Amino acid sequence: MITILQVGYDKLLLQTRALLLGRRGYRVISALGNGSGFALANAERIDLVLIGYSAPTGIRENAANHFKDHFPQIPVVALCSNSSQAGLAYADYSSSVDDAEEWLNIIAKAALQPVHL
């Protein structure tokens, strides 16, 4: 089973995404904020990182940078608040949160070759 670590900044959004991802057969570990996400990445075997969209870009960039620096083999997917918002520079994939099917398909694509630490 593919394990996704989602780092989010809003508890309700974390719960909603966990439900959607769980229905697709993923094991989801949710972290509220970057610090919790970094700690869980060190404690768990993860295959993909999903970064939520509700924090300021600098905080989200920090998360993407950290995961790519410390876990370069693990794909990072960043959600954007709308289709016009630029993706995060260090993220491997970006998608508008407005289109759940799009970001769920991007996650499926990114998770095709999971890497286990």
Whether 117 maps to a domain, the answer reads no
More confident residue, 91 or 20: 20
Whether 77 maps to a domain, the answer reads yes
- Model confidence pLDDT, tens digit, residues 4-54: 999 999 999 999 999 999 999 999 999 999 999 999 999 999 999 999 988
Domain range holding 57?
3-110
Three-state SS for 55-104 is CCHHHHHHHHHHHHHHCCCCCEEEEECCCCCCCCCCCCEEEECCCHHHHH
The domain that holds 52 is classified in CATH as 3.40.50.2300
Task: For residue 113, name the pLDDT band (cuts at 50, 70, 90).
Answer: low
Mean pLDDT across the chain:
88
Whether 25 maps to a domain, the answer reads yes
Whether 49 maps to a domain, the answer reads yes
Whether 63 maps to a domain, the answer reads yes
Q: How far apart are CA 22 and CA 61, in angstroms?
A: 26
Instruction: Please check whether residue 5 is in contact with residue 36, taking contact to mean a CB–CB distance below 8 angstroms.
Output: no
Separation of first and last alpha carbons in the chain: 14
Whether 116 maps to a domain, the answer reads no
